[in-house]
Amino acid sequence: MRRLARKKLWIVRFLYMSLFTALVTGCGIGGVSDAEKSVSAAEVPLKKSAWVVDWQWESGADDLQGMTNGLTNVQMFAAYFDEADNLFFTESFQKGLPKVQEISRRSSLVHVDLTIVNDQKRKDGTDIQKDPALITRLMATEESRSKHIDQIMKAVEEYQFHGVEIDYERIEEKDWGNLLAFFKELYLRLQEQDKTLRIVLEPRTPIETLSLPEGPVYVMMAYNLHGLQSDPGPKADRSFITELTTRMKVVPGDKVIALSAGGFDWAENGEAAAVTEKQAAELAKSSLEMPRRDNASGSIHFQYVDQNKQKHTVWYADETTLQAWAEIVSGEGYRSIALWRLGDLGSKSVRFMNE
């Protein structure tokens, strides 16, 4: 009886959020097709996963502590590459992974996966982020791909990961054929060890023309509509998310839509910086006017003046924003979301991820 009552309460709340999302995003209360999708979606709760990053693993682990009932996976971000194109793990990664795995073991519900990203760390302390030339070298031949896969399998065994996630970005067109072969080869090797494979796709990925192999889970990054290199605005809005979920229909197998917490702070001199939800909420206390919620995205935005008399514009997502975005994803027929990233989330956002 208790389980039935909780299920009814969950459905009522889900339907309430459907109505709220319609108001926030301007889609209209009378959208019959969206309402019908939401009712159907309410029958099956969303599967959720999230990333913990090596440079903020302590607060990320704190957030993880509060959502182990709601997550299926946590992605430990990230393995990088050294100057010899070998996998490289930072000291912060080495310190944070045991804590994340400890939390996972206590919950018995959350699996820990390894995320590998094509960033190269140099001995002089500099790095190349999302290096396409690195991918060209790794994927060039069957021998180079096999060497890379061997290193991945060794890391999976050494650190006892449940699976692997590949986050290779800014791929050059000439490398896609070899990269797809790599995806297939890596998936088969992982399957032999009962391990899983997820592959992250950028919004720019030409998924309509690629023959992505069946088997891996594919994750679409539905965020950074606005970011460090753009004018101020939300990380995502209804139109952006809907466009990406529509495009993802051609992708085979299980699919995940990735949403992003926090936001960005743009200074009037052109500089921009990422901010977590808690950082943004603290800055909002100095807002020139009452922070407002954007109708098209559900995001909060405001302006403030720093100690140097420079005006800043901040846009960020809170729990209400994440709820609205998740409702859009669910309404489009998807059953899994991922959150970029844990660390300094508001308590309500943690509670949302734990549902």
pLDDT at 194 over 50: yes
Q: pTM to 2 decimals?
A: 0.89
Token pair, residue 98, equals: 């045991």
Could you tell me whether strands 262-267 and 272-275 are parallel, antiparallel, or unpaired per DSSP bridges? antiparallel
Q: How far apart are CA 231 and CA 123, in angstroms?
A: 34
Mean pLDDT of 192-218: 98
- Burial (0-12, 13-18, 19+ Cβ within 10 Å), 171: buried
- Evaluate if residue 316 carries a pLDDT over 90: yes
Average pLDDT across the chain, whole number: 91
Instruction: Please state, as a whole number, how many other Cβ atoms lie within 10 Å of the Cβ of residue 304.
Output: 18
State pLDDT tens for residues 73-125.
Answer: 999 999 999 999 999 999 999 999 999 999 999 998 899 999 999 999 999 99
pLDDT at 35: 46
- For residue 51, the cross-strand partners are 75
Instruction: Please check the confidence at residue 30 and state whether its pLDDT lies above 60.
Output: no
pLDDT tens, position by position, 141-169: 999 999 999 999 999 999 999 999 999 99
* Mean pLDDT (whole number) for 126-142: 98
Could you give the CA distance from residue 317 to residue 24 in angstroms, rounded to a whole number?
Answer: 13
* Whether pLDDT at 7 is above 50: no
Whole-number pLDDT of residue 11: 46
Measured CA to CA, the distance from residue 149 to residue 164 in angstroms comes to 11
Pairing of strands 127-128, 311-317: unpaired
d(CA 62, CA 325): 24
Q: Read off the pLDDT band of 43 (50, 70, 90).
A: low
* Per-residue pLDDT reduced to its tens digit, 17-28: 444 444 444 443
pLDDT tens digits, residue range 232-272? 999 999 999 999 999 999 999 999 999 999 999 999 999 99
What is the sign of the dihedral through the CA atoms of 167, 47, 259 and 314?
negative
Q: What pLDDT, on the 0 to 100 scale, is given for residue 293?
A: 98
Express as a percent the part of the chain with pLDDT over 90.
87
Which residues are 47's β-sheet partners?
336
pLDDT in tens, 207-239: 999 999 999 999 999 999 999 999 999 999 999
Given a contact cutoff of 8 angstroms between Cβ atoms, the answer to whether 247 and 292 are in contact is no
